[in-house]
């Protein structure tokens, strides 16, 4: 069953649309004229053509293409037409005398050989009226054609198959010898348009104006419209103005006097009328629906099916009653009951199914909500990530969710200052929590210590889980370790501006993060100490900072360095390790601003006592020489406050001297490798920033964060994302790029070495040749000429590389003309070798055999 042509959307973009696009026609309608002209050949001989209703100009393009050169083509339309070569166009209404005058002005007393009309009025009102205005337009175009056509000329017009179609044809027949209606293949089937080609214009001297007056030509139609408006059936109304044809039987499927393709009718009158109906009943099967869709292309059999369906439908609706057997009423009732029962069961089933589906959906949604809420709470640090996707009681963890709730409750109370936060009341988890909380309110509360223990236990579990996760990652991803170390390097680089690969510590957990710009600054300090070109007010600060650094270093020496994680893990242990003072704090308080504050020492003392530095550490700190020196030097400044070792020290401490020296050596060797470092260096050189400023900038929210008590997974995340964003300049980037380009331009080591080797060997050869030449020169038994000859030979030998130049051997394939020949092939000069596929195969086979024998 074929599909009806689509009326809308891409269905309109058929092959003619594509062809028109390809061939540059402005409208697909161009093909209609091409096909009409192919059939009647009126354009080739025409010297003057008028196209009425010509926009956008498809027909004009065709006319211009098919008509002889130097012919006149005039196009008129309501809307302006974009210029076309050899074509004159106007914007005018063809029903007005102004349009006639314009054409007359253009043609002077010329007559047209062809008048074309493809007009279509603005449709959209009732079909009957649309069709009528189209017919009127046709008659108007005929009027112009009659005026401008030469005798024997051709008039081509588009008409719609409507009630006035016959009247029009009759009129055409009065004025032309040959009138033919045709529908070119490019005209869509769904369109009611048809083209009438009127040839051999009779050019009567006088034409009765009634022929061209719509009122007379379509008199019948006017009465039809009036009758329709009054609601009177007009099926049999006949044109009687010109009595063009006798009443004929309609074999084309149209109702009498109605030639339209589309009829609007209400659904109810359609069902109750004589025509087949559409209704969504059981008997309306898919086949029936498909048939109704494809009415235009149905075969006899399909129509029979439709008629049967219609009869059944009418019976169902009680319009027709089966005259055959009238069944027993009791039996009928029983059937109805059974059907009812079945229906009830199926309805019940459907309802139950729908309920089950809805319930499952609800549960899924609730689970998702719970999950997302928990994640949210975790992000807000309101809960530990234990309850995501875990069962109520997880054996692997050895904790039940009750514990979590218990802890959660404590935490909540702590965080919210005893108040319970009111979440959206609709969450089931929340309500159950609350309930449990209420229950627990009545239970005796755990002691603080127990809760603290639980908390520590949980955190340890969490750390354990995180470590296990890292382990799994490491197992799964062989590159994990490399990535990790690269990441760490990148982090360090971001600060240092150099790679410390030489230190050999980068992969160890014990590694220290150097204050990169600190080192740089130190290097610069060393350099600039002599020049002392810095501003005088900076010098104090520098002095202070260097002192502070010394102090930092000395305090750093107090205790062993520990990795972040180790520090984190040991944070809960009692402070029996050797304490170290916060270097960052030391440097901070070494600034001018704090210089005159008297209470600082006391404060330090107080802090000292707060921190609870034990006797051992005191002893240690006192026994340290450096500290002693510093203390004696800076006793009026402030006292060093030993503190718990934390990361601040890492930020500011330049590490030991060796490390500093290494870093500086690296900087000297490789230069600065990050844009940040270069930017800072440039700023320093250009005096955009002073060292003091840079130092002060170093104290930012990233530098003084205590990492104490934070879980390792959090610290790892922080290390990834919580970094200072040091601004970089274009100049710095350009400098780095230039450096990289220079590096790229250098030959690789191997190549350079090979070149050097070559050079060295050549020098050696020449030296050798010179020595020999001297020997030859010294001999007395040779004439001067012979000596010169030998020396020349020796030197030439010395200059050559000593390698034999391989002579070119031409390879000739033994195929085509060269197949099976003996001796030198034609056209081949010099050394040659003949090769053929057979030979190659045999050589390979031989090698294979030799190899196999060797293995055995
Ligand atoms: C189907 S298009 C013609 C397409 C044209 N044959 C082509 O190939 O490009 C119909 C045209 O008739 C024009 N038209 C309708 N009523 C008109 C009138 N009274 N006077 C002039 N043009 C009219 C419309 O503006 C429209 O551009």
Position 635 pLDDT exceeds 60: no
The pLDDT of residue 190: 80
What is the per-residue burial (b if ≥16 Cβ within 10 Å, else e) of 119-145?
bebeeeeebbebbbbbbbbbbbbbbbb
pTM of the model: 0.34
Ligand 1 mutation pick, 53, 103, 191, max ligand atoms within 8 A of CB:
53
Annotated binding residue at 77? yes
| Sign of the CA dihedral running 482, 488, 491, 497 | negative
Stretch among 370-374, 462-466, 621-625, 776-780 having the lowest mean pLDDT:
621-625
Q: Which atom of ligand 1 is nearest to the CA of 57?
A: 9
Vertex 572 angle, CA 571 and 576, to 5°: 75
Count CA within 13 A, CB hemisphere, residue 601: 10
Ligand 1: atom nearest CA of 94 is 20
- Cα of 53 from ligand 1 centre, angstroms: 4
Centre of ligand 1 to C-alpha 120, Å, is 6
Determine if ligand 1 sits within 6 Å of the CB of residue 78: yes
Question: Would the pLDDT of 31 be above 90?
Answer: yes
Tell me the best of 34, 54, 160, 191 to mutate to test the pocket of ligand 1, counting ligand atoms within 8 Å of each CB and taking the most: 54
Give percent above pLDDT 70 in the chain.
59
Burial of 196 (0-12, 13-18, 19+ CB in 10 A): buried
158 is catalytic: yes
Three state DSSP letters for 475-486: HHCCCHHHHHHH
Q: Find the helix or strand (DSSP H, E) in which 403 lies.
A: helix 401-415
pLDDT tens track for 548-597: 444 444 434 434 444 344 444 433 444 343 344 444 455 555 555 555 45
Ligand 1 centre distance from Cα of residue 157 (Å): 12
Q: What is the rounded distance in angstroms from the CA atom of residue 345 to the CA atom of residue 349?
A: 6
Q: Are 275 and 292 in contact (CB under 8 A)?
A: no
Tell me the CA–centroid distance for residue 75 and ligand 1, in Å. 10
Ligand 1 pocket, residue 57 CB under 6 Å: yes
Q: Between 443 and 15, name the one with better pLDDT.
A: 15
- Distance, in Å, from the CA atom of 197 to the CA atom of 184, rounded to the nearest integer, reads 11
- The string of pLDDT tens digits covering residues 785-817 is 999 999 999 888 888 877 777 778 888 888 888
Supply the ipTM of this predicted assembly.
0.98
Q: Is 93 labeled as ligand-binding?
A: yes
Describe the crossing of helices 749-778 and 784-799 by its angle, rounded to 10 degrees. Answer: 170
Please tell me the least confidently modeled range out of 251-265, 332-346, 363-377, 673-687. Answer: 251-265
Find the range with the poorest average confidence among 25-39, 542-556, 708-722.
542-556
User: Quick one: 53 exposed, middle or buried, by C-beta within 10 A (0-12, 13-18, 19+)?
Assistant: buried
Task: Say if CB 370 and CB 377 are below 8 A apart.
Answer: no
406: number of Cβ within 10 Å: 20
Ligand 1 test: best mutation among 74, 120, 160, most atoms within 8 Å of CB? 120
- Check the annotation: does 118 bind a ligand: yes
Provide the b/e sequence for 430-469 (b: ≥16 CB within 10 Å): beebeebbeeeeeeeeeeeeebeebeeebbebbbebbeee
CA angle 642, 647, 653 (to 5 degrees): 75
Measure the CA–CA gap between 647 and 495, rounded to whole angstroms. 15
User: Is residue 431's pLDDT more than 60?
Assistant: no
Listed in sequence order, the residues at least 6 apart from 290 whose beta carbon sits closer than 8 Å to its beta carbon are 1
Q: Render pLDDT for 710-765 as a digit per residue (tens, 0 to 9).
A: 888 888 888 888 888 888 999 999 999 998 998 888 888 888 899 999 999 999 99
Q: How far apart are CA 294 and CA 142, in angstroms?
A: 38
SS3 for 237-298 is CCCCCCCCCCCCCCCCCCCCCCCCCCCCCCHHHHHHCCCCCCCCCCCCCHHHHHHHHCHHHC
The SS3 of residue 776 is helix
pLDDT for 505 equals 39
Which residue is associated with the tokens 């000292």?
Answer: 608
Q: What percent of the chain has pLDDT over 90?
A: 21
Among 59, 78, 98, 133, the mutation site with the greatest number of ligand 1 atoms within 8 A of its Cβ is 78
Instruction: Give pLDDT tens digits for 174-196.
Output: 899 999 999 999 988 888 889 99
Cβ-contact 639, 611 below 8 angstroms: no
Confidence check: pLDDT of 675 > 70:
yes
Rounded to whole angstroms, the Cα distance separating 679 from 682 reads 5
Query: Nearest C-alpha to atom 19 of ligand 1 is from which residue?
Result: 93
Tell me, what DSSP letter sits at residue 399? E
CB atoms within 10 A of CB 503: 18
Separation of CA 190 and ligand 1 centre (Å): 20
> Left (φ > 0), alpha (ψ -120 to 50) or beta: where does 784 sit?
alpha
402 is in an annotated binding site: no
Cβ 140 under 6 angstroms from ligand 1:
no
pLDDT attached to residue 126: 62
Name 117's bridge partners.
Answer: 52, 157
How many angstroms separate the alpha carbon of residue 153 from the centre of ligand 1? Answer: 22
CB distance 75 to ligand 1 below 6 Å: no
DSSP β-bridge partners for residue 181: 196
Determine if ligand 1 sits within 6 Å of the CB of residue 54: yes
pLDDT at 340: 65
What does residue 599 show for φ and ψ, rounded to 5 degrees?
A: -70, -5
Residue 34 Cβ inside 6 Å of ligand 1? The answer reads: no
SS3 470: helix
Distance separating alpha carbons of residues 29 and 35, to the nearest angstrom: 10
Structure tokens at 244: 């063009």
The span from the CA of 517 to the CA of 229, in Å, is: 95
What is the residue-averaged pLDDT of the chain? 70
Residue 616: both structure tokens together:
């051992």
- The answer to whether residues 134 and 167 touch, using CB atoms and an 8 Å cutoff, is no
CATH 3.40.50.150 applies to domain 15-230: yes
Distance separating alpha carbons of residues 567 and 644, to the nearest angstrom:
10
* Cα dihedral across residues 806, 810, 813, 819: positive or negative: negative
Indicate if the pLDDT at residue 252 is higher than 60: no
Token code pair at residue 143: 């009027």
CA of 286 to the centre of ligand 1 (A): 43
pLDDT above 90 for 529: no
**CB of 810 closer than 8 Å to CB of 833:** yes
Q: Is the CB of 242 under 6 A from ligand 1?
A: no
How far apart (Å, rounded) are the C-alpha atoms in residues 492 and 502? 14
> What is the C-alpha to C-alpha distance for residues 255 and 390, in angstroms, rounded to an integer?
77
The reported pLDDT for the residue numbered 111 is 92
pLDDT of amino acid 123: 65
Which residues are bridge partners to 393 per DSSP? 400
Whether the predicted pLDDT of 168 surpasses 80 = yes
Q: Is the CB of 93 under 6 A from ligand 1?
A: yes
Q: Which of 32, 143, 158, 662 is catalytic?
A: 158
The answer to whether the CB of 516 falls within 8 A of the CB of 500 is no
Residues belonging to the chain:
856
378 lines ligand 1 (CB under 6 A): no
Q: Which atom of ligand 1 is nearest to the CA of 51?
A: 6
Nearest CA to ligand 1 atom 16: 121
DSSP-assigned letters across all residues of 787-814: HHHHHHHHHHHHHS-SPPPPPP-EEEES
What separation in Å is there between the alpha carbon of 76 and the centre of ligand 1?
Answer: 8
pLDDT-derived band at 646 (thresholds 50, 70, 90) equals: very low
Distance CA(489)–CA(501), nearest Å, equals 9
SS in 3 state form for 151-219? EEEEEEEEEECCCCHHHHHHHHHHHEEEEEEECCCCCCCCCCEEEEEEEEECCCCCCCHHHHCHHHHCH
Give the Cα separation of 469 and 475 in Å (integer): 10
């Amino acid at each position: 069953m074929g599909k009806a042509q689509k009326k809308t959307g891409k269905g309109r973009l058929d092959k003619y649309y594509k062809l028109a696009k390809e061939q540059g026609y402005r409208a697909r309608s161009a093909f209609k004229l091409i096909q009409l002209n192919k059939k009647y050949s009126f354009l080739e001989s025409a010297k003057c053509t008028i196209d009425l209703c010509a926009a956008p100009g498809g027909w004009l393009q065709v006319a211009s293409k098919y008509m002889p050169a130097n012919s006149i083509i005039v196009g008129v339309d309501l809307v302006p037409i974009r210029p076309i070569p050899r074509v004159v166009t106007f914007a005018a209404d063809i029903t007005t005398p102004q349009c006639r005058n314009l054409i007359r002005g253009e043609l002077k007393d010329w007559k047209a050989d062809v008048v074309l009309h493809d007009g279509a009025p603005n449709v959209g009102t009732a079909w009957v009226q649309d069709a009528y205005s189209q017919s009127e337009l046709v008659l108007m175009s005929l009027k112009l054609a009659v005026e401008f056509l030469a005798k024997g000329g051709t008039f081509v017009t588009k008409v719609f198959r409507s009630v006035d179609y016959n009247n029009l044809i009759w009129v055409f027949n009065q004025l032309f010898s040959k009138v033919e209606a045709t529908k070119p293949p490019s005209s869509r089937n769904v369109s009611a348009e048809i083209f009438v080609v009127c040839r051999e214009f009779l050019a009567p001297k006088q034409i009765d104006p009634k022929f061209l007056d719509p009122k007379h030509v379509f008199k019948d139609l006017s009465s039809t419209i009036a009758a329709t408006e009054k609601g009177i059936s007009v099926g049999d109304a006949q044109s009687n103005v010109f009595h063009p044809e006798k009443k004929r039987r309609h074999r084309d499927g149209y109702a009498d006097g109605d030639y339209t393709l589309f009829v609007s009718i209400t659904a109810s009158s359609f069902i109750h009328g004589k025509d087949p109906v559409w209704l969504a009943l059981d008997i309306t099967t898919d086949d029936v629906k498909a048939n109704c869709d494809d009415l235009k292309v149905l075969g006899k059999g399909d129509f029979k099916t439709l008629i049967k369906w219609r009869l059944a439908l009418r019976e169902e609706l009680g319009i027709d009653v089966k005259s055959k057997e009238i069944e027993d009423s009791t039996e009928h009732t029983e059937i109805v009951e059974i059907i009812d029962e079945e229906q009830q069961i199926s309805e019940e089933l459907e309802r139950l199914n729908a309920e089950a589906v809805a319930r499952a959906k609800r549960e899924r949604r609730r689970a998702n909500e719970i999950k997302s809420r928990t994640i949210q709470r975790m992000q807000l640090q309101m809960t530990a990530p234990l309850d995501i996707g875990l069962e109520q009681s997880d054996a692997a963890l050895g904790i039940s969710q009750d514990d979590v709730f218990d802890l959660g409750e404590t935490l909540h109370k702590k965080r919210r200052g005893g108040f319970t936060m009111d979440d959206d009341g609709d969450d089931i988890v929340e309500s159950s929590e609350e309930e449990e909380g209420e229950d627990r309110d009545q239970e005796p509360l755990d002691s603080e210590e127990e809760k603290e223990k639980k908390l520590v236990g949980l955190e340890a579990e969490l750390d354990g889980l995180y470590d296990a996760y890292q382990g799994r990652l490491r197992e799964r991803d062989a590159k994990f370790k490399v990535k990790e170390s690269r990441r760490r390097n990148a982090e360090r680089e971001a600060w240092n501006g150099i790679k410390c690969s030489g230190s050999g510590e980068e992969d160890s957990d014990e590694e220290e993060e150097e204050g990169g710009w600190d080192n740089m600054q130190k290097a610069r300090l060393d350099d600039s100490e002599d020049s002392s070109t810095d501003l005088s007010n900076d010098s104090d600060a520098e002095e202070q900072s260097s002192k502070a650094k010394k102090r930092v270093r000395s305090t750093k020496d107090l205790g062993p360095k520990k990795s972040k994680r180790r520090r984190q893990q040991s944070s809960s242990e009692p402070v029996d390790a050797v304490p170290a003072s916060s270097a960052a704090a030391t440097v901070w308080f070494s600034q001018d601003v704090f210089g005159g504050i008297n209470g600082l020492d006391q404060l330090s003392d107080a802090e000292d006592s707060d921190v609870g530095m034990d006797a051992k550490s005191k002893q240690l700190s006192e026994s340290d020489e450096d500290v002693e020196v510093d203390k004696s030097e800076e006793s009026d400044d402030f006292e060093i406050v030993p503190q718990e070792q934390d990361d601040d020290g890492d930020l500011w401490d330049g590490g030991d001297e060796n490390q500093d020296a290494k870093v500086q050596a690296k900087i000297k060797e490789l230069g600065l490798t990050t844009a940040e470092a270069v930017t800072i260096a440039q700023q320093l050189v250009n005096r955009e920033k002073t060292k003091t400023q840079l130092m002060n900038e170093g104290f930012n929210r990233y530098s003084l964060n205590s990492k104490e008590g934070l879980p390792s997974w959090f610290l790892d995340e922080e290390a990834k994302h919580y970094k200072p964003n040091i601004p970089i300049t274009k100049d710095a980037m350009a400098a780095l790029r230039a450096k990289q380009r220079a590096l790229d331009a250098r030959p690789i080591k191997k190549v350079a070495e090979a070149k050097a080797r070559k050079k060295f060997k050549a020098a050696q050869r020449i030296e050798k040749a010179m020595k020999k030449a001297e020997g030859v020169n010294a001999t007395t038994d040779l004439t001067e000429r012979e000596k010169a000859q030998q020396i020349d030979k020796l030197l030439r030998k010395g200059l050559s590389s000593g390698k034999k130049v391989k002579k070119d051997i031409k390879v000739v394939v033994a195929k085509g003309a060269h197949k099976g020949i003996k001796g030198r092939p034609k056209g081949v000069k010099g050394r040659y070798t003949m090769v053929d596929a057979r030979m190659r195969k045999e050589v390979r086979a031989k090698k294979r055999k030799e190899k196999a024998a060797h293995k055995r």
